Structure formats: C-alpha cells, structure tokens
Chain A
Amino acid sequence: MFVAGVVAGALLASTAIARAETRLTIATVNNGDMIVMQRLSSHFERQHPDIRLNWVVLEENVLRQRVTTDIATRGGQFDILTIGTYEVPIWAKQGWLAPLDDLPAGYAVEDVLTPIREGLSHDGRLYALPFYGESSMTFYRKDLFDDAGLTMPAQPTYEQVTEFARTLHDPANQRYGICLRGKPGWGENMAFVSTMVNTFGGRWFDMEWNPAIDTPEWHRAVGTYIDLLRNYGPPGASSNGFNENLALFANGQCAMWIDATVAAGMLYNPGQSRVHDKVAFAQAPVGSWEKGNAWLWSWALGIPSTSQKADAARQFVTWATSADYVGLVAEEEGWVAVPPGTRASTYARAEYTAVAPFAEFVLAAIQSADPVKTTRDPKPYIGIQYAGIPEFQAIGTQVGQTIAAALTGQVTVEQALKSAQSATERTMRQAGYR
C-alpha cells in the first residue's frame, strides 16, 4: 500500500516537473490526528521534492478566527485550511474555496462516507476533503453499571439516563452521575444542547427564519439538561468542555458521558485513561423524537480560491485524506491511531476493527447522521448541532452563555430561553433576515 502511494506520488510529481520549489502554508488544528499528519508529512515531502510545507498549528478557537479573517479579507496567507462541516458550505457559497472536482481515480471519492461528503459539499460539488469525522455517543462505566445492577440499553432515552445518573451519583467519592458539556460556545455546550433540542422535537428556526427557542420543546430539552447536570453532574460543569470532561471520565470520575466519538480512541488508550478496561458505549440518548440525537462533524482540508499554488495544495490535500495515508498512519503509529470516520475502507479492515471495538458503532453513528432531515418540524437550515448560516457562531455563543447562566442558577430556564429568543431575534434582524 505504501509502495502504491510512492508510485502515485511519483506520477503526480512528474507532472509538476521543472518547477521551482513551492512553499505551501497549511493552517491546522492542534488535535492529535493533525499532529500525526504533521509528523508524517515528511513522507509527502520526500515524494514531492519540489514542495515544502510550512505548518501553522493553532488551537481551534484561534485557528478559526485566524483563517476566517484571512479568507474573508482575501489575505492569502494560507494555501490549505483545516475547516469543518460548518464552514465549508458557507464559504463555498461565497466563492472562497476552490472546488475539488475531478479527483484522481485512485482517490476513490465514493469510498468517503456519504453524510460526510454531503456535509462538505455545496450545490453538489465537493469543496473540502475530510481528514476525520465524528458523531456523538454515550460512554459509560461498565463496572459501575454492573455493581449497581443496571443495564444500559443500546439506545437509551434521556429518561433512562436521568435514572442511571441518579443511581450512580456519588459526590462524596468524587464520582458523578453524568458529565456533559457546560462551557459556553457554539461548538461547546450548544453542540450538545442542539442535539437534545432536536430529539425533544425542537429546532433553531422555523421556515421563516424566526428563532424557535422560547418554545415548549426547548423548555423540555434545556430543562432536562439542567436537571441532569445540576443534580448529578460534577462541580464546575459550566466550564467543562470536551477536554475537561475527557479528563474527568479518564480519571474515573464520571459514570456516564455523552460526547464526540473521537473520545473512544482516547478512553480505550491505557496511556491516557485509567478506565480503559471499564468503559463501554451506547448510542446518544433520545427524547421524544428519535432523530437528531447525535451530531455530525468533520475536520476537512480545503483550498482557498485565492491560493496561487492550488495544484501543489491539491496534491497535499488528496495525499492526506487518501486511503494510502490511512495505511501509512497504521504502519507508523498503529491501527488504533488512524483518523476515523471518513472512509468505508478503513472500517472494512479487520486490523482496525480488532483494535477498535467501537469502530462499527462509530461507523453506524456517522452513517445514520443526517444534517438535512433531523428535526421533527421542517427547518430552513442544514446542520444537526448547528444552523449552517454565518450568524450562527455568534448566536450559538450567545445562547450558550445564557444556558450556562441558567446552569449556574443565575437565571431560571424560562428567563434564559426568553432572553436567548430575543437576543437571537435581534441578531437575525441585524443580519437582514427579516
């Protein structure tokens, strides 16, 4: 497989012959899979002696504001951007991204999981190639459930989860019934809360783009969320994001945790988790409506339309998202470290499913996630845990703040949703939706 990569690379390189060295600037997130990519990129540079790679690795928030500023002002600082399913369709619509049609046959674009591919497309054209993908799921402690004589169903409901959390909550021993995201932010607490809203029958906007936040569905969803976390959650829940919860769960302090599927690889890793032999999983819980309960996200590599080096950039992007790259990671880092959630072929490998007991489950979760038809009532936007409009970052963060305030008891759920509703109405009016 690796040899095939070299040959393909050599063929690609030969088309770029007699060109001076090209420097590509790549902006990426500091997550583990990207760090591996940075390390393994020396293989790419060896295959393409005429291309040099400059890495800009930043934390997610900083990276997002950095690349958005650059692309929106056409600053032209980057040749390859790491962006998510939220940005890609919006930016593609603005003409900021170069379309990625006519991919080489060897790339096998149909191998890329359909929901991910659709999430990275606009008007039927692909604008970014997925590096890894994730959905959300329920993690729980098998040992604690067994001791308490509880059984986690394959598809739990929030009612059951509340019951489990009540039974297993043991704050005196610093073990908490459930850990959930509470840190405000559109990609933090609102990613989770949005899935709860979906599965309790709610949505962000009605078909006329009126915010639908101050509604009975949101009340039920947010009410359940706050009950869960305030009664059975860890202290400090309002500042816990993915990492904080990962630390708690890995340290044995959560009985349950509902979060991104990428956490599975970390929780099963003995070097990162004290509970690697005690963790088990189930699907993300449902409420009164059985869809939209799990999110869909993918970090992907895109090329700005302003890039002068689009050809070289394309070579790197196709290399880093190819099945050969997956093979290379497996060879160098082991199968458990391969970037998950993008290609069916990864899940077809026995080597992968052997070391990753959660593999099939994650695949199923991603394949069943549908960014278009998730809510009970029709919605005008695309996205499960977000609404795919430019204004959503600010709206999500603002609403996330209000819900965090309700979580800490500063305001009631009623007040929180009322003020979230009016703040969102203001923003939408300012943005010209009305």
Chain B
Amino acid sequence: MQSTRSRIVHAALGWTVALVMFFPIFWMLLTGFKTEMDAIATPPTLFFAPTLENYAEVHQRADYLRFAGNSVVISFAGTALAIALAVPAAYAMAFFPTKRTRSTLLWMLSTKMLPPVGVLVPIYLLARDSGLLDTRTGLVIIYTLINLPIAVWMLYTFFKEVPHEILEAGRMDGAGPRQELVHLLLPLAVPGIASTALLLLILCWNEAFWSLNLTAANAAPLTAFIASFSSPEGLFWAKLSAASTMAIAPILVLGWFSQRQLVRGLTFGAVK
C-alpha cells in the first residue's frame, strides 16, 4: 500500500498536469461566455458578467443542427464502412499470414502519409465527374478510404492476440473461415473493434481538409461551421470560442463516456 505522503504527492502532480492540459479548453469555454471586448482585455479577465449573446448569435447565423447532423452521419457511416472492410482484411492477415502480409500492411499505412493537398485537384475532378461533390456519400467514401489503413492495422494487432487454439477448435468442428470469423472471432474481438471504431470516429469528426474542400451547402459538417466563424473582419474571439465549444462538445462527451471502452480495447489488443 502506498503511504499517505506519496498519495498526496501523486494527487498534487496528477492534478497539476490535468489542469495544465485542460486549461486551454477551459479558457475557450470561458471565452465563449465573454463579450468580445472582455475576450481581448489585458490582463485577461477571469471574473466577468457572463453573457449568452455569442451563443445566440452563432445560433442565429448558422444552422448548427444541420452541420452537426452532417458530422454525425458522415463520421458514423465512414467509420462503419471502414470497419466492415477492415475486419475481413485484418482477419486474413492475422490468421493466414503470407510473405506479403507485412509489406501489404505497410503499403496500406504509407498511403496515409501523402499530404492530402497534393491530390486535391485529381480527387476534385474525380468527385465532379462522378457527381459526388457536396454530397455526404462523397465524404463517406473519402473518410472510409483515408481511415481504412489505420483500421486494418489496429484490428490486425488485436486479432493477433486472439489465441489460435480457440479458432483451431472451431475449425476441428468443421467451421469454414467465414463461420470462424463471424461466430468465433468477432465476439472475442468486440472490445478491439469498439476502440478502433472510436478512434476512427474521432479522426472523421476532426478531419478538416476534405470536409472543407469537397462540400458546399448540403454536406458541410462542423469543420465548415468553424470556418464560418474564424477570422472575419472584426473581433471574433468570443464568437469563435462559442462556436468551437459547440463543435467539439459532442465528440468530447462521447470520448469521455467511452474512454473506458477505448482503454479496454487497447488493453486487449495492440499494446498488451
């Protein structure tokens, strides 16, 4: 058992770190309730008359629910599709590795290292010709593709931790690869799949290049909502803080609620 003194030291250290890390976000929350004049005051004001006018103005100017709805639909669909494609691939790689498995995996990951801006024009032309500009379908496809490598890789590491004996036993009973995957592996791998899905959700939600460049009025998610409040001519820090709070709140809350799940999945898989 730890001594009381070391508990106090740990608590002091732990809480200091926590407050320092969280401070920028806390300050943003606070700024969202300031007037624009208070937001730029020197020295910064900690005590002020809170106002809801920023939220009111943000609400009046942009249809938050439409943007948030698009974010939800695109992120969830992109994540689901990526997982659906990645599970069989990771399964094949983890249980039936060949000489090429490792290079295939790395090749997949290397597709993620290309700066997206380098292929904007080709992708824009492709999206235009297939009628996918400013559609949620278009963004779902893009998100599936950019996150697929991460999904395959994470699931692969999870699957590799599943004891082969269990699957072997099933195989003895005459299960084919498909049954083996669906009935034996998936139930075991749920935590891993869940934490992969969570990571993908966060990445989709925060993706700010394709979502800005391939959408206009119909499919624009919350990153475009943010872009409509940053850097106008005039003071904008308080309004931007309010809008940012609204944009990150759903994913932050989701993340907080599911972090245990995320951790459980990771324990199971990649890092054990």
Chain A residues with a Cβ under 8 A of chain B: 25, 27, 29-32, 35, 38-39, 54-62, 65-66, 69, 73-78, 174, 241-243, 246-247, 250-251, 253, 260, 262, 266, 271-272, 274
CA distance A272 to B232 in the complex (A): 14
Whether B128 pairs with A31 at a CB distance below 8 angstroms is no
| Bound Cα distance A394, B39 (Å) | 34
Is B233 close to A, CB under 8 A? yes
Known contacts A35-B61, A56-B216, A73-B121: A251-B233 contact under CB 8 Å: no
- Neighbouring B residues of A77 by C-beta, 8 Å: 133-134, 216
Instruction: Say whether chain B's binding surface is mostly helix, strand, loop, or mixed.
Output: loop
**Which residues of chain B are near A30, meaning CB under 8 Å?**
227-232
- Report the separation of the CA atoms of residues A66 and B133 in the bound assembly, to the nearest whole angstrom: 12
The reply to whether B235 and A66 form a contact with Cβ atoms under 8 Å apart is: no
Judge whether B228 and A59 touch: CB under 8 Å.
Answer: yes
**A residues within 8 A CB of B49?**
none
Binding site for A on B (CB under 8 A): 36-37, 40-42, 60-62, 120-121, 124-125, 128, 133-134, 212-213, 216-218, 220, 224, 227-237
**B213 close to A65 (CB less than 8 A):** yes
* Bound CA span A65–B121, Å: 11
Could you tell me if A32 and B232 are in contact, using CB atoms closer than 8 angstroms?
yes
Query: In the bound complex, do residue A25 and residue B217 qualify as a contact, i.e. CB atoms below 8 Å apart?
Result: yes
A58 to B227, Cβ gap below 8 A? yes
A-B contact pairs, 5 of them (CB 8 A): A31-B234, A69-B124, A73-B121, A241-B231, A250-B40
Tell me how far the C-beta of B23 lies from the nearest C-beta in chain A, rounded to whole angstroms.
20
Q: B128 to chain A: closest CB distance in Å?
A: 5
List of B residues within 8 angstroms of A61 by Cβ: 231
Kindly report which residue of chain B lies nearest to residue A273, judged by CB atoms: B37
Knowing that A55-B217, A247-B237 are A-B contacts, what are 6 other residue pairs whose CB atoms are under 8 Å apart, sorted by A's residue number?
A54-B218, A56-B220, A78-B216, A251-B37, A266-B233, A271-B37
Residues of A within 8 A of B212 (CB): 58, 62, 66
Q: How many CB-defined contacts (below 8 Å) exist between A and B?
A: 102
Identify which of B42, B133, B217, B232 contacts A251 (C-beta below 8 A).
B42
Q: A56-B220, A247-B40, A274-B37 are in contact. Are A31 and B124 (CB under 8 A)?
A: no
Beta-carbon contact of A58 and B231 below 8 Å: no
With beta carbons under 8 angstroms apart, the residue of B62, B120, B134 that contacts A69 is B120
Q: Nearest CB to that of A78 among chain B residues?
A: B216
Given A62-B227, A78-B216, answer yes or no on A57-B125 (Cβ-Cβ < 8 Å): no
Asked if A243 and B227 sit within 8 Å, CB to CB, the answer is: no
A54–B227 touching, CB < 8 Å: no
Chain B: minimal CB distance from A67 (Å): 10
A349 to chain B, nearest CB (A): 23
Assess whether B124 is in contact with A250, with CB atoms less than 8 Å apart: no
Q: Which A-B residue pairs are the 5 nearest by beta carbons?
A: A54-B217, A57-B228, A30-B232, A31-B233, A247-B40
User: By the criterion CB–CB under 8 Å, are B228 and A58 in contact?
Assistant: yes
* Given A59-B228, A75-B128, A272-B36, residue A32 in contact with residue B213 (CB < 8 A): no
A242, B124: Cβ atoms under 8 Å? no
CB-CB < 8 A to A271: which residues of B?
A: 36-37
Q: A56-B217, A69-B121, A73-B124 are in contact. Are A272 and B224 (CB under 8 A)?
A: no
